[in-house]
Structure 1
């Protein structure tokens, strides 16, 4: 039995579009004043080890107000949405948790690499000015790795146990609360767990963490902007 192949986790760099969105967008200009933050957003080094989730509620710390859009009546919560189903929600934290589950879930037995990428691309915001598909794609297995995983009939499911606005983002919003209204791009950190299975009754699991940029304009469903190169606490 072949040893299972694992998909990539956190990318060491982010593309120019996401960098401009995060550093050039008015809503996040205040982040650059925080010591060391600009350095890690633009560096090409490997990211540090993923932090462990803290014991806290998903919306701890009175995060900045989200747009007024809300899930449709009867819409299941993000922890119950199928990994490939993009939720119609206006809550950036709920959307971020659902998007993280989608990034961490796959099934090489029934889905081709091309189909997997196409499905995840539907999660992106429709505003090309902000969408950074390259930063998302770097989190995913490439075609060669997918083929090796497929030989082992590898699949993964995921849970998103906690989602929250990072402290740096909350501080930026507190310093300049009106700046969000230009792009409505929010930063969300998600902690969860990925469970893997493969041929021969093999199984395993690991903790996962990711920080996402999410766009949630008022009265519109959220869309994924991109993935930050390092997890923000």
Structure 2
């Protein structure tokens, strides 16, 4: 029987079990924060020329006055199992690449489901208006499936290929560079590969891609806001 895998890809915008009104409201806030100047635009994962080219097209969060709000604290390793803490960086692309690697990695041999969720929560923004925790927590299997994965010693590691600002995001900001300055939430698409293994020499590898909503206020380390929704024009 084929081994069930940890569902680490970006999930569809509709998820059962979550209050529809709350999810729609959060998604609307995130989209507005990401693009601000349009009500319906696709968050595309089209290719870019790499990190350096896209950084020139998007205002740097370090170029404005610093915020007085405290940074999101990280969860100690002893409380989060194998989940690493968030990096202390103000660069959206660098943070998104680290976040994607975290989301695509796990080890059920050393980490409980509760520890996995606690470790992931440490990456989240503390600003509830922009945080869509359900979109991130939804990547973790239910307790029964996690238990079965642990019985097989299932674990995954990830390698990151690249990260870039989607074309629609850079175009919107080119039209209105001040649009980002209320929430400082950036859309970043990350690609890479996830390698999964379990006991008895089982395993496999898959290509991965996800668009993340990353908040990087000036003077603060970046934090994760959401798995960014896709919206058709």
TM-score scaled by length of structure 1: 0.79
1:213–1:224 Cα contact (<8 Å) kept: yes
Deviation at 1:28, TM superposition (A): 1.1
Q: Aligned equivalents of 2:145 and 2:101: distance in 1?
A: 20
Specify the alignment match of 1:119 in structure 2: 119
2:48–2:167 Cα contact (<8 Å) kept: no
Q: Does 1:18 pair with 2:50?
A: no
Q: Aligned equivalents of 1:175 and 1:121: distance in 2?
A: 34
Deviation at 1:137, TM superposition (A): 1.1
Specify the alignment match of 1:149 in structure 2: 149
Deviation at 1:31, TM superposition (A): 4.4
* Segment drifting more, 7-16 vs 203-212: 7-16
| SS in structure 1 at match of 2:61 | coil
Specify the alignment match of 2:5 in structure 1: 6
For structure 1, list consecutive stretches of 5 or more residues without a partner in the other structure. Answer: 42-49, 70-81
Please list, as runs of the form range in 1=range in 2, the aligned pairs for 1:25-104 lying within 5 A after superposition.
25=33, 28-32=35-39, 34=41, 37=42, 54=47, 56-61=49-54, 62-68=56-62, 84-104=84-104
Query: Deviations 1:171-200 (Å, cap 9, x if unpaired)?
Result: 110111011110000000000110111000
Deviation at 1:230, TM superposition (A): 4.4
| SS in structure 1 at match of 2:53 | coil
Specify the alignment match of 2:221 in structure 1: 221
Query: Deviations 1:99-153 (Å, cap 9, x if unpaired)?
Result: 0001000000011001100100000011111111001112222222211211110
Q: Aligned equivalents of 1:55 and 1:225: distance in 2?
A: 22
Specify the alignment match of 2:184 in structure 1: 184
| SS in structure 2 at match of 1:95 | helix
Q: Aligned equivalents of 2:180 and 2:166: distance in 1?
A: 15
| SS in structure 1 at match of 2:86 | coil
Deviation at 1:56, TM superposition (A): 4.2
In the alignment of these two chains, the number of paired residues is 204
Deviation at 1:24, TM superposition (A): 3.3
Deviation at 1:20, TM superposition (A): 2.2
1:22–1:29 Cα contact (<8 Å) kept: no
Deviation at 1:201, TM superposition (A): 1.0
| SS in structure 1 at match of 2:188 | strand
2:30–2:228 Cα contact (<8 Å) kept: no
Q: Aligned equivalents of 2:180 and 2:112: distance in 1?
A: 38
Deviation at 1:4, TM superposition (A): 2.3
Deviation at 1:22, TM superposition (A): 2.9
Change (3 A) 1:33 1:24: closer
Q: Aligned equivalents of 1:33 and 1:153: distance in 2?
A: 43
